[in-house]
């Protein structure tokens, strides 16, 4: 399965939000490779082996995975207002996905260079 097929298989009501997530990842993560791992779209820095960003359509929400602890730590204040697990930002309502925050997280990840992931 590729990311296009993943999007096509998602519920129609969530597809626009998921497509926007993909668009932001492709645009902001220059030098990253898009693929599928663990059943979801992932983004790996060219030459790297570990995904730094991923997203998924879950049963109850749309998930955005930010595996870089340094980037998460830099955005603690902005992330505090959201439903956030260790590395998973969850949006129950596709219409309320905070694309501005996600764009900023993606830009920070791209600028951060190689680093540790959780």
When the pLDDT of each residue in the chain is averaged and rounded to a whole number, the result is 93
- What number is the average pLDDT over the span 10-25? 96
Tell me, what's the pLDDT at 86?
87
Domain membership of residue 100 as a residue range: 3-112
118 belongs to a structural domain: no
- What number is the average pLDDT over the span 100-104? 97
83 belongs to a structural domain: yes
Residue 69 near residue 116, CB atoms below 8 Å: yes
In b/e form, how buried is each residue of 84-111, taking b as 16+ CB within 10 angstroms? Answer: beebbbebeebeebbeebbebbbebbbe
CATH number of the domain bearing residue 68: 3.90.1150.200
- What number is the average pLDDT over the span 74-84? 93
Structure tokens at 31: 């030098």
117 belongs to a structural domain: no
């Amino acid at each position: 399965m590729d990311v296009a097929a993943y999007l096509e298989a998602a519920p129609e009501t969530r597809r626009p939000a998921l497509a926007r997530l993909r668009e932001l990842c492709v645009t902001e993560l220059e030098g990253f490779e898009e693929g599928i791992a663990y059943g979801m779209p992932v983004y790996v820095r060219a030459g790297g082996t570990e995904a730094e960003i991923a997203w998924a359509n879950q049963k109850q929400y749309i998930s955005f995975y930010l595996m870089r602890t340094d980037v998460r730590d830099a955005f603690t204040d902005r992330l505090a207002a959201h439903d956030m697990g260790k590395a998973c930002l969850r949006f129950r309502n596709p219409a309320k996905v905070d694309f501005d925050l996600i764009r900023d997280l993606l830009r920070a990840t791209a600028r951060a260079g190689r680093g540790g992931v959780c």
